[in-house]
Homo-oligomer: A and B are copies of this chain.
Amino acid sequence: MNPREYLLNSFKVAVNAANPLHVVPLHLPKPPKGRTLVVGAGKAAAAMALAVEQHWPPNASMDGLVITRYGHTLPTQKIKVVEAGHPVPDKQGIQATQQLTKAVQQLSSNDLLLCLFSGGGSSLLSAPVGNVTVNDLQNITQQLLKSGATIQEINIIRKHLSTVQGGKLAVMCNAPILALIISDVVGDEPTHIASGPCAPDPSTYSDALNILEHYAINTPLVINKTLHSGCQQVLAETPKPGSSVFRNVENRVIASARHSLNASDAFFHKHGISAAILGDTVTGEARDVAKVYAALIKEIRQYSKPWKPPIALLSGGETTVAVKGNGCGGRNTEFLLSLAIELNGMDNVYATACDTDGIDGSEDNAGAIITPDTWSRSKQLGINARRLLTHNDSYHFFEQLGNLIITGPTYTNVNDYRAILIL
């Protein structure tokens, strides 16, 4: 294997560690005395459902319904897959969620509720409280997504406008619950993935109102009224940590950046290359994250500190891009373009950054790769790297060099994967 292949294979290993078809079977419970209902929501929901079907004992009763994003269906037999709107909820999602909650409410204590949650579930699983309409939800979701609010903050609003999220699916269920979770949220807290339908929620109506105020959201009147009613205890709060609601509930994160980085770490060690995980919760502007890592790479190349090469530096999380230009490219290629500029052609450094869901931003690529000749080749082709970065046009830097990584959708998502190999 050459260094380029090490990096590409390490990405495959990282994605495989989050592949529902590999991971879900390891966590399937014994069938209960009664029946098993499988419900779920998220971009990985269909793949997770398929994995359950493939490994569920054929003589045990099981059926269900999961909601996934448009275009993310896979051929299942017993578990119905419905497609709905993401990241902004729509009527299809609301109808499917009604069907789903109806089925959950029919379960008894001898049955089992098996939940399959993954990224995207917050908008796919949609059941607005009281008089809140789908239009209200769409309105506020669109504003929040543009506001700079974190996903955790957006989900605090969602949990307090939903009859299923923030632990309320658990409230309506009489059967024991096992929720299998693929985490695409930094920190991997069950309350933040699909807005935690079966997880205790530490946040409050008052938190929700504060967030709307902080980001100066133009809040629809009915939503404002609802949240204020909640503050005045007219509406019930979401169930909190320690609540008896969760006595027979287990939320289990079965795939995450952590799992994937550990798998990549093991891959490099197996091939005799030391690896260091620099964190699975990296956030920040992609171009600035690259500058911090560039300084570490220079330290390693120039002083063999804090590690002697060869060494692989691994990290995960979710970087951001404050878009100012009108170019193409996601946060992973933006990270790599900034890194290439900072490294300025340094030899013996290889790097990849990819979105584990297979789509970095809005284009067709999962990410890209830097090799030691990337910089000199870009110069030969007359590419103005700095100008492309200024215009958030990282896609075209790597496209011209033939250095994009294209995988197609992976049917899972544990966020960013970055690996830097220094020889």
Residue numbers in B under 8 Å from A303 (CB-CB): 277
A130 is an interface residue with CB less than 8 A from chain B? no
Question: A35 within 8 Å of B by Cβ?
Answer: no
Task: Please tell me if the beta carbons of B284 and A306 are within 8 angstroms of each other in the complex.
Answer: no
Q: Which of A292-348 contact B (CB under 8 A)?
A: 292-296, 298-299, 303, 305-306, 315, 317, 342
Report, as a range, how many residues of chain A touch the other chain: 20 to 34
Q: Please report A residues at the B interface, Cβ cutoff 8 Å.
A: 214, 276-285, 287-296, 298-299, 303, 305-306, 315, 317, 342, 386-387
Identify the closest chain B residue to A316 (Cβ): B295
From B276, B282, B290, B299, A295 is in contact (CB under 8 Å) with B282
Listed residue (A279, A281, A289) with the most chain B CB atoms within 10 angstroms of its CB: A279
Query: Complex: how many Å from CA A350 to CA B285?
Result: 24
Query: So how many copies of this chain end up in the complex?
Result: 2
Residues of B within 8 A of A305 (CB): 276-277
Question: From residue A116, how far is it (CB to closest CB) to chain B in Å?
Answer: 26
**In the complex, what distance in Å separates the CA atom of A149 from the CA atom of B135?**
46
Q: List 28 A-B contacts (CB under 8 A).
A: A214-B386, A276-B306, A277-B299, A277-B306, A278-B295, A278-B296, A278-B299, A279-B292, A279-B294, A279-B295, A279-B296, A279-B298, A279-B299, A282-B292, A282-B295, A283-B291, A284-B285, A284-B289, A284-B290, A284-B292, A285-B285, A285-B288, A288-B288, A288-B289, A289-B291, A292-B292, A292-B293, A295-B317
Give chain B residues whose Cβ lies under 8 Å from the Cβ of A280.
295, 299
Nearest Cβ on chain B to A150's Cβ, whole angstroms = 10
User: Which residues in B have their C-beta under 8 angstroms from that of A289?
Assistant: 284, 288, 291-292
Across the interface, do B295 and A315 meet the contact criterion of CB distance under 8 Å? yes
Min C-beta distance of A88 to chain B, whole Å: 26
Nearest opposing residue in chain B for A298, CB measure: B281
Residues from chain B with a CB closer than 8 A to the CB of A299 are 277-281
Contact residues in B for A283 (Cβ distance below 8 Å) = 291, 295, 342
For the complex, what is the distance from the CA of A326 to the CA of B305, rounded to whole Å? 39
**A277 to chain B: closest residue by CB:** B305
A206 → B minimal CB distance (Å) = 15
**A284 to B: closest C-beta gap in Å:** 4
- Name the 9 nearest CB pairs between A and B, nearest first: A279-B295, A288-B288, A284-B291, A284-B288, A276-B306, A282-B295, A292-B292, A279-B299, A281-B295
| Alpha-carbon distance A32/B389, docked complex (angstroms) | 52
Chain B nearest CB, measured from A349 CB (Å)? 14
| Residues of B with C-beta under 8 A to A386 | 214
Chain B residues in 8 Å Cβ range of A282: 291-292, 295
* A153 → chain B closest CB, angstroms: 10
Q: What residue in chain B is nearest A289 (Cβ atoms)?
A: B292
- A279: which B residues are within 8 A, CB to CB? 292, 294-296, 298-299
- Further 4 A-B residue pairs, CB within 8 A, beyond A276-B305, A279-B292, A282-B291: A214-B387, A278-B296, A279-B294, A282-B292
Nearest chain B CB to A415 CB, angstrom units: 12
- A288: chain B residues within 8 A (beta carbon): 284-285, 288-289, 292
Chain B's nearest CB lies how many Å from the CB of A341?
11
* Complex alpha-carbon distance, A285 and B322, angstroms: 13
A290 contacts across to B, CB distance below 8 A:
284
Residues of B near A281 (CB, < 8 A) are 294-295, 298-299
Complex contacts, A294 vs chain B, CB 8 Å: 279, 281
Q: Which residues of B contact A342 (CB under 8 A)?
A: 283
Give bound CA distance, A289 to B291, whole Å: 8
Enumerate chain B residues within 8 angstroms of A295, measured Cβ to Cβ: 278-283, 315, 317
